[in-house]
């Protein structure tokens, strides 16, 4: 599957936009729409120059697409577009490796329509070791989109 406009809008909504480097709640240097890396794989640093909105959008598309490819490799069950979008948003936020090792993925691969999946999204609400209201809102929204017909 491939990302669509709804997927990009979902991620942009929760990541927000910063044209200059900043430290995210997990204390990682970040730029654009929550990017910790550039297209060439170089890590964002707090010393990097500002980017334009166009550069941020281009970076978002490229990085989200790379996460979509990872999700496609990890998920063996057939998904609808909403399920795919929710999982790409999740992986973009927590990392593909965390998705790979999650109970969430195990449940999706066993039966992508089981309701227990909703609870698995909600387990991922900590940043820097602390519960985050922003992550709680994001996980609720991802879960709602996942189960939206």
Active site residues: 15
* Whole-number Cα distances in Å, 20 to 28, 49, 90, 92, 108: 13, 7, 24, 20, 36
* Whole-number Cα distances in Å, 130 to 60, 83, 88, 137: 26, 27, 23, 15
Q: Which residues pair with 106 in a beta bridge?
A: none
Residue 137: closest CA among 148, 129, 145: 145
Query: What's the CA gap between 12 and 33, in Å, rounded?
Result: 6
| Contact criterion met (CB below 8 Å) for 109 and 75 | yes
């Amino acid at each position: 599957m491939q990302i669509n406009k709804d997927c990009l809008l979902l991620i942009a909504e929760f990541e927000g936009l910063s044209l200059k480097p900043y430290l995210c709640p997990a204390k990682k240097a970040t730029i654009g729409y929550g990017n910790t890396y550039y297209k060439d794989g170089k890590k964002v640093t707090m010393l990097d120059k500002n980017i334009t909105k166009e550069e941020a959008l281009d970076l978002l598309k490229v990085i989200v697409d790379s996460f979509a490819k990872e999700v496609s490799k990890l998920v063996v069950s057939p998904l609808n577009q909403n399920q795919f979008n929710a999982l790409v948003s999740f992986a973009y936020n927590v990392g593909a490796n965390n998705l790979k090792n999650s109970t969430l993925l195990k449940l999706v691969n066993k039966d992508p329509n089981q309701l227990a999946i909703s609870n698995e999204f909600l387990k991922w609400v900590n940043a820097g070791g602390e519960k985050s209201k922003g992550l709680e809102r994001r996980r609720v929204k991802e879960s709602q989109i996942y189960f939206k017909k």
